[in-house]
Amino acid sequence: MQFLIENWALVLIALTSGGMLLWSSYGGASGSDGVSAAQAVLKVNREKGVIIDVCEPHEFQAGHAVGSKSIPLGQLDKRLSDLPKDKNTPVLIMCASGMRAKRAAAQLRKQGFVNAAAVSGGMRSWREAGLPVEKG
């Protein structure tokens, strides 16, 4: 007990650090914040996930994740038939920065796609991770 009293600052730092770790593991890094580019690749490879790019066509032509499908955000509700039939399939949403992708993921979750998630940071983080990009 004497140790705790004398080293209260260290104890406070340890508790804060542990709390932040738990928050990021269970609350702060949930589906609403999206998945990292590396996590997206794992979901595609291990769970047969699909990548949907919600950028405008000219942005998609300039560069997109290899194998992604273009469905601009404004057309998403009209093109649900272009998405996997199994609504449990991971659907990973990409855009330039991740902002439109978050909105699209929320729309898809409302439509029943339980594993829809935005790729955090979008194409910017995809490129920074050194993942393959194609044009056209």
pLDDT of residue 30: 42
Instruction: Report pTM.
Output: 0.75
3 C-beta neighbours (distance < 10 Å), count = 9
pLDDT of residue 41: 94
- pLDDT, tens only, 15-34: 887 777 666 555 444 445 68
- pLDDT, tens only, 40-86: 999 999 999 999 999 999 999 999 999 999 999 999 999 999 999 99
The label of the residue with tokens 């066509």 reads 57
pLDDT of residue 106: 94
Distance separating alpha carbons of residues 43 and 57, to the nearest angstrom: 25
Expressed as residue numbers, the domain containing 56 is 32-132
2 and 20 share a domain?
yes
102 and 60 share a domain?
yes
pLDDT of residue 21: 67
9 and 59 share a domain?
no
∠ Cα 26 31 35 (to 5°)? 100
Contact 133, 123 (CB under 8 A): yes
State the total domains in the chain: 2
CATH number at residue 59: 3.40.250.10
- pLDDT, tens only, 86-104: 999 999 999 999 899 999 9
Contact 40, 121 (CB under 8 A): no
Both structure tokens of 95: 């855009």
The mean of the pLDDT values for the chain is 88
pLDDT of residue 23: 61
